[in-house]
Structure 1
């Protein structure tokens, strides 16, 4: 396992040194002036050959679709009417008397009202933050007996 980590370390160091040379070479190339490219003569190409025209063939006309003979469709049979059944009328439902609700006795005590509370006013908070800091006295060190 130790040899594996040392191999990785050696490869990393080798890549680091090679990238330094590459970066220096790139910097040198960037600092040089742009060379002028020579103008090359333009080659003349031969003209393209002409495409021959193909002969136009005669296409035969499409065949016509023959008409089918029209057959006679027999008429639909008539649906017989159903006999009407005599249904006796429904019996009437008797109406029920309306129930009456008993009245609430007036001897029930009334619900007391809830007292209303008022909240005390909020204290006033300062809107600005003081920027000045108080000064602290700093004592100077005693004078030294020897000079440096």
Structure 2
């Protein structure tokens, strides 16, 4: 809102500056002495425009006097176009809507317990 007020104030000031100058110019013109009356020079009269001869308009023939238009000849009949039969289109495969189940793999079997891979057996080398 403050931005709008600033813009409107700047716009109002920009409009007021030219009007101040116009007011000063009008006051200056009012304070000048009156202008002397100048004699008006008489101009010679303008020459008259000569009338140009008007062209004669030819008479148009009456609508009933025109000859009749020729008749159009009969168009020959077009031969019949053989119909092309299209083979039947294959049916669209149906899109499955059910989500298939994902087979989960069982973990690999653990190796049999031997004395060499048990944690209780420590080998000393």
Q: What's the TM-score bracket when you normalise by the shorter of the two chains?
A: 0.3 to 0.5
Q: Which has the higher contact order (CA 8 A, sep 6+)?
A: 2
- Structure 2-normalised TM-score? 0.41
TM-score, normalisation: structure 1: 0.37
